[in-house]
Structure 1
Amino acid sequence: MSGLFQDDPAEQDDIPPPPDGPGLFGDVLPVALPEPVHAGPYRVLARKYRPTTFDDLIGQEAMVRILRNAFAIGRVAHAFMLTGVRGVGKTTTARIIARALNCIGPDGTGGPTADPCGICANCIGILADRHPDVIEMDAASRNGIGDIRELIEAVRFRPMQARNKVFILDEVHMLTTQAFNALLKTLEEPPPHVKFIFATTELRKVPITVLSRCQRFDLRRVRIAELSQHYARIARNEAVAVEPGALEQIARAADGSVRDGLSILDQAIAQTDAGPDAVITATQVADMLGLADREAVFDLMEAVMGGKPAAALAITDGAFERGADLGTLLQDLLDLLHTITRLKSIPGLRDSHDLPEAERTRGAQIADRLAVPVLARAWQMLLKGVGEVETAPDRRAAAEMVLIRLCHVADIPTPGDLVRRLNASGSAAGPDLSAAAGGGSGVRAVANGMPLISAEAAPAPAPAAPRLNNFRDIVALVGAQKEAMLHAHLLHSVHLVRFAPPVIELRPQPEAPRDLAPRLAALLSEVTATRWTIAMSTAAGEATLAEQGNAADSARRTAAADHPLVRAILDTFPGARIDTVHDRTTDAYGLPAPLTEQPDMPGFAPPEADYFDEDPMEIDP
């Protein structure tokens, strides 16, 4: 039965539809439309899939194992220092530790555990960032001594709700020196109910006095393979189809940071057309990030190392039209070159699943065709070229010039090949290069600061035990005794006049110290247990050891420059010069080893000589 202000429910179904024509005032009556349903605010993937337990952390197995054991045996430190690159989970780990310290279990009777329940009041409050006993402070914005004094004052009070009061300081390296000093005493001896967790990306800026009071954990970069698998799981949870190549590119661009990769994945999902058949492709990700296609990088590598500038420039033109930055393209080429060199040096990597399929197959094929000296030369040129692109007014022109240089250098033989060819063609013109400056020597030629050739002879046998047979032995002994200043003055500031052990006569230069003679005499007497006399003279004497060494080095350079093979190398590379000449027969001062005096020995009579004795021995009959 209907009331005074209620319609009968049975009659509500008989309400006529709104009239089609105009109403009393000539207007069409409005039709009530249903209220639109508003979705909740979107949470980015980095927040939606933030780890909440130790099991959710990826790539940090060592740290997780240590923390689990610490909670199991009740040896949890009072201060932690978490360090690593951005996005590897430092702050997330700090919050997990805070929950593990304060979890009380579903029934409210639990203690600290490495597996927090997630449903108790403390776990829920910490997850929601609103727990009164877990205080997070951004040291980048609150880095003064006043902020630290407030923190120290808060340490004095017991927790209001939880078991432990946890202070999380992010970017702790931004604190001032005074703030660090104010924190030291509290950090060393905090109350039993207080825990400190610090996070930083610049560990070297944290004072050692703070580090020594913390248990340190280095969160490592996450491998590309682990990141790809992690992003694939998230894509499945989000009902998004992503090509494996696209996941690999996202993981590579993340550079070990889980959060950076999730941000890129979020962007890739947003720029893909909606629909049940939509797939995020590697090409779309490359275009979004301004990267060159991975296959294009391989094609560019083969064109450059094959000496094909036209093909290389065609690849760069296509990449530039797609919006790729050619400086980034050179960096990708440098990374690929490093991978190929590793495959060349460590053949077992070809079976490792840590490398993508393209590197393990096509990269291995390139590695088989190139020698290590060729790869090393290309690395040096590319490394220099990347720096040139960063400072050039036209990045595209600078990158193309680097690639053209690489193409033309690909046809030039390596220094080792050049030496072998010159030795084969000029063996009749003169002796081998190793004899250019005498036996046991080597010549090193350079052009534009880069080494062209470094040929070393077989090492000489180890020298005998040092003996004080000449003045050089004296100087060497002083150097071995760690008397750096005295050694330097004996090398540069004195002229030997007479050497007659245990007497040495020297002529000092004006810059020599006045106490040189007594210091030298005392050192020699102490080492040799013999009294030495150091006399000062005004006679000219010999040249200093440094002057003698410079003269000997000039003579070796002249001899090396006259060698036919060296002249051929200098003619082949215009602008090349002889950098150093190594002679293994010389001593530490660049001088030939002195001849050891042999004692006078009586000569033996020839076998055909007649026996003669001026005073024959008389033998009694």
Structure 2
Amino acid sequence: MPMSEQRYLVAARKYRPQLFRELVAQEHVTETLKNALRLDRIGHAYLFSGPRGVGKTTAARLLAKAINCQTPLDQREDGAEPCRRCEACLAFEEGRSLNVLEIDAASNNRVEDVRELRETVRIPPQGARKKVYIIDEVHMLSNAAFNALLKTLEEPPPHVLFIFATTEPHKVLPTILSRCQRFDFRRIPVENIVARLREVCAAEGVEADDESLMLLARKGDGALRDALSAFDQAVSLCGTRLRYAELAQALGVVDIDLYFQVTEHVRTGNGAGMLQLVERVVGAGYDLQEFVIGLAEHVRNLLVARTLPDLSLIEAGEATRRRYAQVAEAFTEADLLRMLGLLAEAETALKQSAHPRLRLELTLLRLASLPHAVDLRRVLEQLDRLAQSAPEAPAAASSSAAADPSRGRTAGLSRLSTPTGSTTPQPAAPGSNLGSGPFGPPALQVRPSEKPGDSLAQATQSAAALMVAEAPEASFETLVSRWADVVQQIKQVRIHVGLLLEESRPLRLMHDTLELAVPGEHAERLLRNQETFLITQLHAHLSEAISIRRIRFVVQDRSVAATSAALPEEPEDPLELLRRLQQQVPALQQLIDRFGCEPLWQGN
């Protein structure tokens, strides 16, 4: 063909699906439509809804072409696909079919436009089975136009088919929705977009690596049309050889290496490196909010790699997935969750901040100074190993343990952390080596200059200081001593809860879980429903000494349940039953005494 007659088409139009099987990631729609064709159960109105660029209008065009295809169904591919060889198919693909009308509702949304459409509906198709009206962005019609279309849509002529497409189905009148068969299109997964882009690259003679295709697919954000538009732009910028580094710079996408540098600065606590990185981001002209969004996704990928053995949830190439798995070993799940929380706050604040760069710098500096989570079980295991390997323990500690062997390891730590005549250990200074792994050597190792007899005591004090500094826990003795005062405070807020707590008592405190003995199953059920309220009250009245996230209720008095189970099946006097419960349930008796009630039974 001469150059003057050649016509350039963008990839989204050039590679538009011509068969149902070519429609990407919408099998739930295409299979239903093909079955309707095979069974000759085509409705008179369809509504295709979903995000932009996922194939709504394309599916409408395919359905119109398949309905009017002149080839018998038993001779078609899959018994439903259009043949693309008959006159009806060729006329449709060449744009000269008079039986398929595409209408843009955004520019034809008046009542007069709908009245004109109602007049043309009466004209039968010319040499075809159906006359198809495809109305795109149907939610743009005015309410008056919708109402004018109602009667025609409900009872159209037998030769007419309406297909509506919209990205905002909630704006379509319910009276219109009730007259249509609705199909919801899905966002296209990144893997499907990459596979389609790879087919387009092979057809166009473009060489692209996996990271480049993944970048284009993510740029599409679930829309294949947007990804193909980004592909056209990439070819115009980079030619027929696409490489990730050059493509990311050309499209203005933040290089993933910057995100890995951020998490490396977080791991090492490098605040100066964070400030220099912000300077690079600003100098490169990146949008700061997009940078924070990308960083949050980066941390999310690290969390996936840290939590799951399967890395398929990370939308990246295989080499990048392995890199995520390697870097994620340096962080705990708690660290990554706290980082995500800070980034979510920063994303919201950047939208309203008058100084977005300062906000970004503050967020990254907070990430760099974020204290790392410490596993208390790991600390206790280190103490056990030190106790087994130490040459001898201090005499005071040995005699104390022999005198009171029932006290656990936590009590011993508390005793050693505040010895007589010494001050309470202070939190470790920033930058000191706490913990093990990527954050420094173990804090409990014995220095060569120390005396063998003092190694266990000093190491234990260090571990206790670490626990107090980074993971404060409640003092059970303080909780028990102040329990009565707390109960009185709760009674002033919710009297029925306070009355039940007067009959309850704390049993023990393990990490962040409080075990509470309750008088019976009735009290256990009521207090379990008030667990969140109880935790809030405990924190309010014991804020300096307690950190409880869960309460486990232990029923110790089952006399009520046993008595109830032993009651005879024969009905008894209700007043007698109430008196019995009054004696067995202390809370009921206190309610009666407080409010001056007396038993009363009113029969039917």
Band the TM-score falls in, shorter-chain normalisation: 0.5 to 0.7
Contact 1:53 1:116 in 2 (8 A): yes
Structure 1 residue 191 and structure 2 residue 183: aligned? no
* Alignment of 1:272 onto 2:238: yes
TM-score, normalised with respect to structure 1: 0.62
The AA in structure 2 aligned to 1:264 is A
Correspondent of 2:360 among 399, 407, 412: 399
Task: Give the letter for the 1:125 counterpart.
Answer: A
Aligned to 1:382: 343
Partner of 1:437: 486
Q: For 1:218 and 1:322, how far apart are their aligned partners in 2?
A: 40
Match among 272, 276, 284 for residue 314 of structure 1:
276
Are 2:390 and 1:341 equivalent residues in the alignment? no
Deviation for aligned residue 1:367: 4.1
Aligned partner of 2:544 in structure 1 is: 567
CA distance in 1, matches of 2:333, 2:487: 31
* Preserved contact between residue 516 and residue 552 of structure 2 (Cα < 8 Å): no
- 2:517 and 2:188 mapped to 1: Cα distance? 46
Correspondence for 1:473 = none
Q: Which residue does 2:171 correspond to in 1?
A: 205
Secondary structure of 2:588's match? coil
Alpha-carbon distance, 1:37 to partner: 4.8
Aligned mates of 1:459, 1:171 — CA distance in 2:
63
CA shift in 2, pair 1:259/1:429, >3 Å? same
Quick check: 1:91 aligned with 2:57?
yes
Tell me the distance in 2 between the aligned counterparts of 1:434 and 1:69: 72
Superposition deviation, residue 219 in structure 1: 1.3
Report Cα offsets for 1:297-334 as digits up to 9, x if no partner: 23323323553223333334334444332321111111
Please, which of 266, 285, 290 is the counterpart of residue 304 of structure 1? 266
- Answer yes or no: is 1:285 the counterpart of 2:240: no
**Whole-Å separation in 2 of the counterparts to 1:54 and 1:86:** 18
Partner of residue 333, structure 2: 372
Task: Please state whether the residue corresponding to 2:162 is helix, strand or coil.
Answer: strand
Point out where structure 2 has 5 or more consecutive residues left out of the alignment. Answer: 380-464, 491-510, 555-584, 591-604
Deviation at 1:208, TM superposition (A): 2.2
Corresponding residue SS for 1:81: strand
Cα distance between partner residues in 2 of 1:353 and 1:568: 41
Q: Deviations over 1:273-314 (max 9, x none)?
A: 5xxxx5211112211221111232233233235532233333
Measure, in 1, the Cα distance between the counterparts of 2:186 and 2:40.
Answer: 26
Q: 1:415 to 1:142 in 2, by over 3 A?
A: farther
Whether the aligned pair in 2 keeps the contact of 1:437 and 1:560 (CA below 8 Å) is: no
Q: Give the equivalent residue in structure 2 for 1:360.
A: 321
Q: In the aligned structure 1, how far is the partner of 2:320 from the partner of 2:481?
A: 40
Out of 596, 605, 615, the position equivalent to 2:588 is: 596
Rounded to whole Å, the distance in 2 between the matches of 1:357 and 1:432 is 56
Query: Which runs of structure 2 are paired with 1:209-608 in the superposition (5 Å)?
Result: 209-273=175-239, 279-304=241-266, 306-345=268-307, 347-350=308-311, 356-358=317-319, 360-411=321-372, 421=468, 427=475, 430-431=478-479, 437-438=486-487, 462-463=521-522, 563=542, 566-567=543-544, 595-597=587-589
| Residues 1:145 and 2:106 aligned together | no
Go from structure 1 to structure 2 and tell me whether the alpha carbon gap of 1:143 and 1:298 turns closer, same or farther (over 3 Å shift).
Answer: same
Provide closer, same or farther for how the CA distance between residues 201 and 358 of structure 1 changes in structure 2, counting only shifts above 3 A: farther
Using the alignment, how far apart are the partners of 1:377 and 1:353 within structure 2? 20
The whole-number CA distance in structure 1 between the counterparts of 2:192 and 2:332 is 32
Distance 1:561 1:43 in 2: 67
Which residue is 2:500 aligned to? none
Amino acid at match of 1:282: Y
- Counterpart-to-counterpart distance in 2, 1:433 and 1:46: 73
Distance 2:224 2:347 in 1: 27
Q: How many residues of Structure 1 are paired with residues of Structure 2 in the alignment? A: 442
Question: Helix, strand or coil: the match of 1:186?
Answer: helix
Deviation at 1:169, TM superposition (A): 0.7
Going from structure 1 to structure 2, the CA distance change for 1:343 and 1:407 (only over 3 Å counts) comes to same
Q: Distance in 1 between matches of 2:29 and 2:263?
A: 39
- Identify if the C-alpha distance between structure 1 residues 314 and 236 changes in structure 2 by more than 3 Å, giving closer, same or farther: farther
- Once the two structures are overlaid, the 10-residue window that deviates more, 44-53 or 454-463, is 454-463
Mapped contact 2:50–2:166 kept (Cα < 8 A): yes
Contact 2:150 2:175 in 1 (8 A): yes
Letter in 1 for 2:177: L
| Displacement after TM superposition at 1:430 (Å) | 2.1
What percent of counterpart residues are identical? 35
Deviation at 1:168, TM superposition (A): 0.5
Contact 2:513 2:551 in 1 (8 A): no
Matches of 1:414 and 1:83 in 2, distance apart?
Answer: 49
2:269, 2:284 → 1: CA distance? 25
Residues 47 and 181 in structure 2, CA contact (< 8 A), matched pair in contact too? yes
SS of residue in 1 equivalent to 2:257: helix
* Contact residue 335 and residue 372 of structure 2 kept, 8 A: no
d(CA) in 1 for partners of 2:296, 2:190: 17
Q: Could you give the per-residue CA deviations for residues 349-378 of structure 1, whole angstroms, max 9, x where no partner exists?
A: 326686542563233344444333333322
Is the CA contact 1:272–1:279 (under 8 Å) kept in the aligned structure 2?
Answer: yes
Cα distance between partner residues in 1 of 2:359 and 2:348: 10
Between the aligned partners of 1:438 and 1:413, the Cα distance in structure 2 is: 33
**Is contact 1:103-1:110 (8 Å) kept?**
no
Structure 1 unmatched runs, 5+: 1-35, 442-452, 467-548, 571-577, 586-592, 599-621
Change in CA separation of 1:221 and 1:183 when aligned onto 2, cut-off 3 Å: same
Provide the C-alpha distance between the structure 1 equivalents of 2:524 and 2:245, rounded to a whole number of angstroms: 69
The answer as to whether partners of 1:434 and 1:440 remain within 8 angstroms in 2 is no
The structure 1 segments of at least 4 consecutive aligned residues displaced by more than 6 Å after TM superposition are: 109-113, 412-420, 422-426, 453-456, 580-585
Q: Distance in 2 between matches of 1:100 and 1:252?
A: 32
Residue aligning to 1:523: none
Question: Could you give the per-residue CA deviations for residues 535-556 of structure 1, whole angstroms, max 9, x where no partner exists?
Answer: xxxxxxxxxxxxxx9xxx99x9
1:61 lines up with 2:27 in the alignment: yes
Counterpart amino acid of residue 311 in structure 2? R
Letter in 1 for 2:486: A
Query: What is the CA deviation profile of residues 385-414 of structure 1, one whole-angstrom value per residue up to 9, with x for unaligned ones?
Result: 112223334433332222122222345779
The root-mean-square deviation of aligned C-alpha atoms, in Å, is 4.2
Secondary structure at 2:587 match in 1:
coil
Cα separation, partners in 2 of 1:433 and 1:398, compared to 1, 3 Å = farther
Instruction: Give, in whole Å, the separation in 2 of the partners of 1:338 and 1:41.
Output: 44
Matched residue type, 2:142: T
What's the offset of the Cα at 1:66?
Answer: 1.3
- On the 8 A contact 2:104/2:135 being kept in 1, the answer is yes
The one-letter code sitting in structure 2 at the alignment partner of 1:392 is S
Residue 218 of structure 1 deviates from its aligned partner by 1.4
How far apart are residue 154 of structure 1 and its match?
1.6
SS for the counterpart of 2:103 is strand
Q: Structure 1 residues 82 and 388 mapped into 2: Cα distance closer, same or farther (>3 Å)? A: same
2:207–2:241 contact (8 Å) kept in structure 1: yes
In the superposition, relative to structure 1, how do residues 288 and 329 fare at CA in structure 2: closer, same or farther (>3 Å)? same
Match of residue 16, structure 2, among 35, 45, 50? 50
Tell me which amino acid in the other structure corresponds to 1:228. Answer: V
Counterpart check, 1:175 vs 2:141: yes
Q: Tell me whether 295-304 or 377-386 shows the greater mean CA deviation.
A: 295-304
Letter in 2 for 1:404: L
Equivalent of 1:115, from 81, 84, 91?
81
What is the alpha-carbon distance in structure 2 between the residues aligned to residue 440 and residue 359 of structure 1?
56
